[in-house]
Structure 1
Amino acid sequence: MNAISVKAGYEPANKESNNGRVSGGASVTFNAGDFKLRASMTDATVVNASSLNGLALAIEKPDSFILGYKVSEKESKPQKVPLISYSFDFSFQFMNSIKVMEKPLNLKYTHNKPLHNIGDSKTILDGTLVFNSANNVSANHELGSGDCKLKYSYVHGGLTTLEPSYDTKNKSWDLAVSRKVYGDHVCKATYQMKSNVLGLEWSSTSKLDGSFKVSASLSLADKTLPKLAAESSLNFDI
């Protein structure tokens, strides 16, 4: 089924920014047999006259591969006559699933290649071993970075999810706890040990009414005012 998704968000002014920030975006998805064609843009594409900044194109075969192409505006030194230059990033992702001791192991290989600077290419490997519907272990590794993120996910009673994770490079733990309430609503709390940041989030996803998310993050180290953000999206079938 073809669909249009529209998203808008707002982050109020805080100590770091005197002005509130409005964000938005839209995407269009077309089904072409076994494939999906998707085009998306952010508010940067249409604010201050139309541009290519934030434009992304992708072709996807579900559970198999995704090929993507993204345009973003490059930072340049101040000049008398502003010159707009863009960077073009190409990415491809392959997905597969194998059996390990009769348990499904979902694998994902992602390669991001900036066409303007080949040296900035990144290759990321993801793997998730599913023991049962309530327990799984996942790992994320960027080749050449020496970093590996490990996460364990446990779902209790189908409502509460506990997700501790460990970053081997930074040697730090993160923790996320979420619970489903009122049907399709989710309340989530996170804590990042390295940055000492506590996060709270309330979200809802509905095919009929769209989705929304209200979030707040508080740095426990410097005790500044919490950062607040709200966003909402609507989906339209075409």
Structure 2
Amino acid sequence: MKASLKAHFEPERSSAIATLFLPAGDARVKASITEATFSKGPSLNSLSLSLEKPGSFIIDYNVPNQDFRFQFMNTVRLAEKPVSLTYTHMLGARQTAIDGSLQIDPANKLSVNYSFGSGNCKVKYAYAHGEFGRILVEPVYDLSKNTWDFAVSKKYDGGDSLKANYQTSSKVLGLEWNRDSKTNGCFKISAAFNLAEKNAIPKVFAESTLNYDF
């Protein structure tokens, strides 16, 4: 049995999510709650249950909204190249999306996301540079908005990584510092700069995750 606790900090507010994982054969059951579950006494607010099999399917149930989300994954080979497909359907919102990715080689990957109904479609190309692919360059093109997003990240020894991303449509520049530690847990510090506003104060966020094994 495993559990995790994630805390999110912002200048205006903070939040927390606790998750419990229970083995169920080759699948597992997941239960998640937030601080809203206990803010006004014990309740079902923000309680969600999931049944998932990694690489195969995820079924989420939002208890207070009595709503389901289904996700099915599979990988096939096309011309000896792995092609990963993910089908997602949100029952209450009646939204369906398909994600597909083609691993061209260890350094190059092409991904496509398409949402039915809205017709939104994004194409992402990922290039891993260096001997261990520690530098990752990811341009994303949004066909529906005719805009580009760009992201560059680098991994370091010890579990540290830095990432910068820029959204051309909103002119928002984001910076992230991540640390993934098996002993001290994980944390992320990020800042968002709106370059369209003069003298804009950056928005700073922090996240911390602790994992437990029982």
Which residue matches 1:36? Answer: 28
Using structure 2 for the length normalisation, give the TM-score: 0.95
Matched, 1:87 2:86: no
SS in structure 2 of the partner of residue 44 of structure 1:
helix
What secondary structure does 2:153 align onto? strand
Q: Are 1:145 and 2:121 counterparts?
A: no
CA–CA separation in structure 2 for the residues paired with 1:195 and 1:9? 24
**Number of equivalenced pairs:** 211
**TM-score, length-scaled by structure 1:** 0.86
Following the alignment from structure 1 to structure 2, what is the Cα–Cα distance between the partners of residues 200 and 139? Answer: 24
Question: Quick one: which amino acid aligns to residue 101 of structure 2?
Answer: T
Structure 2 residue identity aligned to 1:110: T
Within 1, Cα distance between the matches of 2:125 and 2:69? 27
Q: In 2, Cα distance between the equivalents of 1:61 and 1:220?
A: 42
C-alpha displacement of 1:208: 2.1
AA at the equivalent of 1:98: V
Distance in 2, matches of 1:98 and 1:201, equals 33
Aligned partner of 1:7 in structure 2 is: 6
Residue 62 of structure 1 is matched in structure 2 by 54
In the TM superposition, residue 183 of structure 1 has moved relative to its aligned partner by: 2.6
Which 4+ stretches in 1 moved above 2 angstroms? 48-51
Give how far 1:209 is off. Answer: 1.6
For residue 8 of structure 1, report the CA deviation from its aligned partner.
1.0
Post-superposition Cα deviations, 1:131-189, rounded to whole Å, max 9, x if no partner, equal 11111000111112121011000111121000000111111000000001243111000
The equivalences for 1:16-55 within 5 A come to: 20-55=12-47
Bigger mean CA offset, 126-135 vs 49-58: 49-58
CA-CA distance at 1:207 after TM superposition:
2.4
Unaligned runs of 5+ in 2: none
- What letter is aligned with 1:35? A
Structure 1 CA distance for aligned equivalents of residues 171 and 44 of structure 2: 37
SS of residue matched to 2:36: helix
Q: Secondary structure at the match of 1:87?
A: coil
Identity of paired residues, percent? Answer: 48
Letter in 2 for 1:210: G
> CA shift at 1:93, angstroms?
0.8
